[in-house]
């Protein structure tokens, strides 16, 4: 499959009163057509900022993309004109946000809001747009979609609103859907429904997905490939089975160790990672995870490890081979 999105060396900073926050520090990844990439990491590790930077939705000031490229079908999203990126947003790359309660405009009807991308990108008239919106709402499982076009967001439940959000993102048949923690604000039972819905729509429409989450459980059954982020870096990336089966970065091992497992006999205390995530006021010259890492060696404090290949298609940014406990050469 050809790659439709290549992000290279993306860096984003925020200027604040306390200093410059280095939120994203040279992130590179690529996305193939129809592929699902899961980006995981704890709050504040830069996963949302990474995708927002790509679409230039970072509030500026204080945010600024300071380096890197984001090539979509060979064109750099970061340097194209405002007009050009506008035609990509919502049409070819669209987003679903975390909180369905606040992500809709409270004073416009659902029908109006879902049809906006159609008006902007497809030039449909109101009648055509309405039919398309109703069709899309039916597809995401809203009962009586025609009657609900004139309803306002507050007349929908949280789960239903997230369905509408997904319908709105997919209404123009985009090639890439970016889902920024779309299930975090929902009940566990609703989370599963939303994941199933996205899976079904992906099989039907064939778009590529970037799914951001801090919940390793949600993403396991959905993603083809995973990228783990820490302190504004991607520290490990691998196909999903490989990552869950053979995590190599100490942080990934820690994350997986903090998950409860169904297949384990008896009870086990869940392991937590000691320490706090880094404050990103300085671009680290050493491994950002070193202060919390039990494998850390001398070198980790002097040199920030780049992503290194550990097996085919599996990369990890760690100086230590965690299986043997020995330093990589």
Partner 1 sequence: MGKYLIRRLLWLIPVIIVVSGITFILMHSAPGGPWDRDTTARQVDQNTQRILNEYYGLDKPLWRQYVAYVIGDFNKQGKFVCGLVCGNLGPSYRMRGLTIQQILFMPPEGKNFLYSRFGYSMRLGVFALLFAVAIGIPAGVIAALKQNTIIDYVSLFIVTIGISVPNFVMALFLIILFASTLKWVNIVPRSWDEVSVWVLPTVILGFGTMARTARLMRGSMLEVMRMDYIRTARSKGLAERVVVLRHMIKNSLIPVVTILGPALAALVTGSFIIETMFGFPGMGRAYVTAIGQRDYSMIMGTTLIYAVLIALANLSVDIVYSFLDPRIRLD
Q: List contacts with partner 1 (CB under 8 A).
A: 55, 57, 59, 82, 86-91, 94-95, 97, 99, 102-109, 116-117, 120-121, 152, 154, 168
Q: In 3D, which of 11, 30, 31, 29 has the Cα closest to residue 21?
A: 11
Give CA–CA dist 27/37, Å, rounded: 14
Task: End-to-end CA distance of the chain: give it in Å, rounded.
Answer: 33
Smallest separation (angstroms) from partner 1 to the CB of 141: 20
Residue 229 phi/psi, 5-degree rounding, is -110, 145
Q: What residue has token string 């990589």?
A: 328
DSSP assignment of 317-329 equals --SEETTTTEEP-
> Which of 2, 59 has the CB closer to partner 1?
59
In this structure, are residues 151 and 110 in contact, taking their beta carbons and an 8 Å threshold? yes
Nearer CB in complex with partner 1: 121/314: 121
- H or E, element range at 192: helix 188-205
Distance, in Å, from the CA atom of 227 to the CA atom of 240, rounded to the nearest integer, reads: 9
Q: What is the CA radius of gyration of the chain?
A: 21
Supply the minimum distance, in Å, between the C-beta of residue 183 and partner 1.
16
Q: Smallest distance, Å, CB 105 to partner 1?
A: 4
Cβ contacts of residue 166 below 8 Å, gap of 6+? Answer: 96, 140, 182, 194, 197, 198, 201
| Residue 6: CB minimum distance to partner 1, A | 21
- Least separation in angstroms between CB 278 and partner 1: 26
CB of 154 to partner 1, least distance (A): 5
107 vs 262, which CB is nearer to partner 1? 107
Residue closer to partner 1, measured from CB, 117 or 250? 117
Residue number with CB closer to partner 1 (170 or 223): 170
Q: Which is nearer to partner 1, 94 or 191 (CB)?
A: 94
């Amino acid at each position: 499959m050809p790659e439709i999105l290549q992000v290279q060396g993306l860096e984003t900073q925020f200027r604040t009163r306390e200093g410059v926050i280095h939120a994203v520090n040279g992130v590179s990844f690529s996305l193939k057509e129809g592929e699902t990439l899961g980006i995981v990491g704890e709050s504040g590790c830069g996963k949302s900022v990474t995708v927002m930077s790509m679409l230039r939705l970072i509030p500026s000031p204080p945010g600024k993309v300071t380096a890197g490229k984001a090539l979509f079908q060979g064109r750099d999203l970061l340097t194209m004109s405002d007009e050009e990126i506008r035609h990509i947003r919502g049409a070819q790359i669209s987003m679903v946000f975390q909180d369905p309660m606040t992500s809709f405009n409270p004073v416009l009807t659902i029908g109006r809001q879902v049809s906006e991308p159609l008006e902007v990108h497809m030039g449909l008239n109101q009648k055509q747009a309405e039919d398309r919106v109703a069709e899309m709402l039916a597809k995401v499982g809203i009962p009586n979609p025609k009657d609900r076009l004139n309803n306002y967001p507050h007349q929908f439940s949280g789960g239903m609103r997230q369905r509408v959000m997904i319908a709105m993102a997919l209404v123009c048949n985009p090639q890439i859907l970016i889902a920024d923690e779309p299930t975090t604000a929902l009940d566990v039972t609703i989370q599963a429904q939303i994941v199933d819905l996205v899976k079904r729509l992906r099989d039907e429409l064939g778009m590529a997905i970037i799914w951001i989450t801090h919940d390793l459980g949600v993403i396991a059954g959905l993603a083809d490939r995973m990228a783990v982020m820490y302190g504004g870096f991607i520290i490990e990336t691998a196909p999903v089975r490989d990552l869950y089966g053979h995590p190599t970065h100490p942080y990934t091992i820690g994350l997986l160790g903090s998950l409860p497992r169904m297949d384990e006999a008896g009870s086990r205390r869940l392991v937590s990672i000691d320490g706090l995530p880094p404050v990103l006021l300085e671009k680290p010259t050493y491994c950002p995870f070193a202060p919390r890492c039990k494998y850390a060696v001398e070198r980790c404090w002097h040199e920030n490890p780049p992503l290194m290949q550990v097996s085919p298609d599996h990369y990890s940014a760690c100086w230590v081979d965690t299986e043997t406990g020995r330093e990589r050469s």
